């Protein structure tokens, strides 16, 4: 882990939701597994007034609440010692100067310059201000023999224009190799396994094209709704920006990208970007015919959601892939809240032979598994054909619980070791916005009506696939 230099992780938004639910538990897992640098400090930077002790107590509460982590007191105590707190307002330059001074003090205590990982666990609307302050102070300046990296969460920008602007500001401080844009779906084991599964098994890869495949469906359907504490940050974003622009398109990229030949970060990121770039932005006509947006009944009662909100909590988009390998293959992207069931999966359907179709299904939820649907003779005297399943459960029973933080564990470790494979490149971000922007614009202009649907009902049965 980068020579002998110590490392400081600076968390902006240290008392927020993301730190509580993902970062603190994931770091703890890594600490318990001895995967973090030995010389490490985690500095929380947030508005709330806290002492180091109070912050450590807060972190302790989070770790204890996370019941599936087994730990002994010694591990927990040593983990808590990593945490320090620096109070600060993200919009006040003096607070950044104080932070800078504090980081220098830590370095002086070590007698060494430190690597720095700046983690922006804050709503994206705050990014720009934080970037500006980081660049107007010297906090993120290069120091010989150490690295500086920045981690940002999705959505990166609000549309193509704002994403480009953020890149421009970030580019003044950090090079692309230093920027880690998180899409936590890329950190999910089962999705990483798509690449392993596809490119290590000759059996499938040769049929993985438009000659044999008819459609690819991606569903991220959730039974939960928007909690009261999320109304204000969700409402300006909506489902398509929240999960469509990132998680769903990344899943589409993973099932359709070309073989990277080697599993290097550069090659994999390039191939993901290349396939997303082949998605042609829809015309207004296509948007009207092939996109659907809905909102569940009761969403407007969520705290801080206006009672006239036009924000979609559900969407379904159908289209056709355009790259030479996939030309003519239809795709479906669907996601929503308060739907009948929790169903997160990718379904690859093969063209029919003799009236029968095969499917390969990559499921994240309700269980992580890969299923191949095939046809076989029914046991017995007659030649009757029936559908059967090859079912491969990805995780054994006792390993199920860890999945939620496992993605963050992997991503945090990769930030620290400098592996960008599972992080979204600027080319990918831009290509994703290029496809999504026109749809959002048309929706904002009400070119596609918003359908209010009952909770636990799927609204969009009215939309049909592009072909077949």
Which residues are tagged catalytic?
247
Q: Which of 159, 166, 102 is nearest to 135 (CA)?
A: 166
Q: How far is Cα 363 from Cα 423, in angstroms, rounded to an integer?
A: 22
The least distance separating ligand BG6 from the CB of residue 21, rounded to whole angstroms, comes to 10
CA 174 vs CA 125, 422, 459: distances in Å: 19, 18, 44
For 338, left (φ over 0), alpha (ψ -120 to 50), or beta?
A: left
Cβ of 17: how many Cβ atoms within 10 Å?
A: 14
Q: In terms of CB distance, is 217 or 242 closer to ligand BG6?
A: 242
Q: In terms of CB distance, is 134 or 364 closer to ligand BG6?
A: 364
Cβ of 371: how many Cβ atoms within 10 Å?
A: 18
Residues 177-216 as x/- pattern, contact with ligand BG6 by CB under 6 A = ----------------------------------------
Q: In terms of CB distance, is 243 or 370 closer to ligand BG6?
A: 243
Q: In terms of CB distance, is 50 or 251 closer to ligand BG6?
A: 251
Q: Tell me the number of residues near ligand BG6 by CB under 6 A.
A: 4
Q: In terms of CB distance, is 328 or 340 closer to ligand BG6?
A: 340
Cβ of 181: how many Cβ atoms within 10 Å?
A: 25
Q: How far is Cα 448 from Cα 443, in angstroms, rounded to an integer?
A: 6
Q: In terms of CB distance, is 222 or 414 closer to ligand BG6?
A: 222
The least distance separating ligand BG6 from the CB of residue 226, rounded to whole angstroms, comes to 8
Residues 435-454 as x/- pattern, contact with ligand BG6 by CB under 6 A = --------------------
* Cross-strand pairs, 346: 218, 362
The least distance separating ligand BG6 from the CB of residue 243, rounded to whole angstroms, comes to 5
**Shortest-Cβ-distance residue relative to ligand BG6:** 242
Q: How far is Cα 359 from Cα 220, in angstroms, rounded to an integer?
A: 18
What is the three-class DSSP state of 38? coil
Q: Is 428 in the site for ligand BG6 (CB under 6 A)?
A: no
The least distance separating ligand BG6 from the CB of residue 15, rounded to whole angstroms, comes to 19
Give the footprint of ligand BG6 on residues 231-290 (CB under 6 A): 242-243
- Angle among Cα 316, 123, 179 to the nearest 5 degrees reads 90
Q: In terms of CB distance, is 317 or 339 closer to ligand BG6?
A: 339
Q: In terms of CB distance, is 76 or 220 closer to ligand BG6?
A: 220
Q: In terms of CB distance, is 149 or 219 closer to ligand BG6?
A: 219
Q: What is the DSSP string of 356-380?
A: B--EEEEEEESS-EEEEEEEEEPSS
Give the footprint of ligand BG6 on residues 2-21 (CB under 6 A): none
Binder among 66, 214, 222, 235 for ligand BG6 (CB under 6 A): 222
The least distance separating ligand BG6 from the CB of residue 69, rounded to whole angstroms, comes to 18
The least distance separating ligand BG6 from the CB of residue 218, rounded to whole angstroms, comes to 12
Distance between start and end Cα atoms, the chain: 53
Tokens 């469509």 identify what position? 244
Q: How far is Cα 285 from Cα 185, in angstroms, rounded to an integer?
A: 31
Give strand ranges (E) for 88-203.
115-120, 148-153, 179-182
The full length of the chain comes to: 468
Cβ of 278: how many Cβ atoms within 10 Å?
A: 16
Residues 313-352 as x/- pattern, contact with ligand BG6 by CB under 6 A = -------------------------------x--------
Given a contact cutoff of 8 angstroms between Cβ atoms, the answer to whether 390 and 372 are in contact is: yes
The least distance separating ligand BG6 from the CB of residue 242, rounded to whole angstroms, comes to 5
Give the footprint of ligand BG6 on residues 77-136 (CB under 6 A): none
Q: Give me the torsion for CA of 404, 407, 412, 415, rounded to 10°.
A: -160
Cβ of 287: how many Cβ atoms within 10 Å?
A: 19
The least distance separating ligand BG6 from the CB of residue 34, rounded to whole angstroms, comes to 26
The least distance separating ligand BG6 from the CB of residue 433, rounded to whole angstroms, comes to 16
Q: What is the DSSP string of 262-308?
A: S--HHHHHHHHHHHHHTSPPPPHHHHHHHEEEEEETTGGGSTT--TT
What is the three-class DSSP state of 327? coil
Q: Which of 271, 292, 269, 236 is nearest to 447 (CA)?
A: 292
Q: Would you tell me which residues interact with ligand BG6 (CB under 6 A)?
A: 222, 242-243, 344
């Amino acid at each position: 882990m980068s020579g002998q230099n110590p490392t400081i992780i600076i968390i902006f938004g240290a008392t927020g939701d993301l730190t509580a639910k993902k970062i603190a538990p994931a770091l703890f897992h890594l600490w318990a597994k001895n995967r973090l640098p030995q010389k490490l400090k985690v500095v929380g930077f947030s508005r709330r007034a806290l002492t180091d002790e109070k912050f450590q107590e807060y972190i302790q509460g989070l770790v204890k609440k996370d019941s599936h982590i087994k730990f002994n007191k010694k591990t927990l105590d040593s983990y808590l010692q990593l945490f320090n707190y620096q109070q600060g307002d993200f919009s006040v330059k003096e607070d950044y100067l104080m932070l800078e001074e504090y980081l220098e003090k830590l370095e002086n205590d070590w007698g060494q310059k430190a690597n720095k990982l700046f983690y922006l666990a804050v709503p994206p609307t705050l990014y720009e201000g934080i970037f500006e302050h980081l660049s107007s102070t010297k906090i993120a300046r290069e120091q010989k023999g150490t690295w500086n990296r920045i981690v940002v969460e999705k959505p990166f920008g609000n549309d193509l224009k704002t994403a480009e602007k953020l890149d421009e500001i970030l580019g003044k401080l950090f090079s692309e190799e230093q920027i880690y844009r998180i899409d936590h779906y890329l950190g999910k084991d089962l999705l990483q396994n798509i690449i392993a599964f596809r490119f290590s098994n000759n059996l499938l890869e040769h049929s993985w094209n438009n000659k044999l495949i008819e459609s690819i469906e991606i569903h991220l359907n959730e039974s939960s709704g928007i909690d009261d504490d999320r109304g204000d940050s969700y409402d300006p974003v909506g489902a398509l920006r929240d999960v469509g622009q990132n998680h769903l398109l990344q899943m589409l990229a993973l099932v359709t990208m070309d073989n990277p030949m080697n599993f290097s970060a550069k090659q994999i990121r390039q191939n993901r970007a290349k396939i997303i770039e082949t998605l042609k932005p829809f015309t207004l006509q296509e948007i009207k015919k092939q996109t659907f947006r809905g909102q569940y009944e009761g969403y407007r009662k969520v705290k801080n959601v206006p009672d006239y909100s036009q924000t979609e909590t559900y969407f379904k988009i159908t289209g056709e892939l355009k790259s030479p390998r996939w030309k003519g293959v239809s795709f479906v992207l669907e996601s929503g809240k308060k739907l009948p069931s929790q169903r997160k999966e990718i379904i690859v359907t093969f063209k029919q032979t003799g009236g029968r179709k095969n499917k390969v299904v990559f499921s994240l939820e309700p269980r992580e598994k890969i299923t191949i649907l095939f046809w076989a003779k029914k046991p017995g005297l007659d030649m009757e054909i029936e559908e059967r399943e090859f079912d491969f459960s990805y995780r054994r029973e006792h390993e199920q619980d860890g999945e939620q933080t496992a993605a963050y564990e992997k991503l945090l470790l990769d930030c620290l070791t400098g592996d960008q494979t599972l992080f979204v490149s600027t080319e990918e971000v831009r290509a994703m916005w290029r496809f999504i922007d026109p749809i959002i614009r048309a929706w904002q202009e009400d070119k596609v009506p918003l359908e209010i649907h009952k909770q636990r009902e799927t609204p969009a049965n009215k939309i049909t696939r592009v072909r077949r």
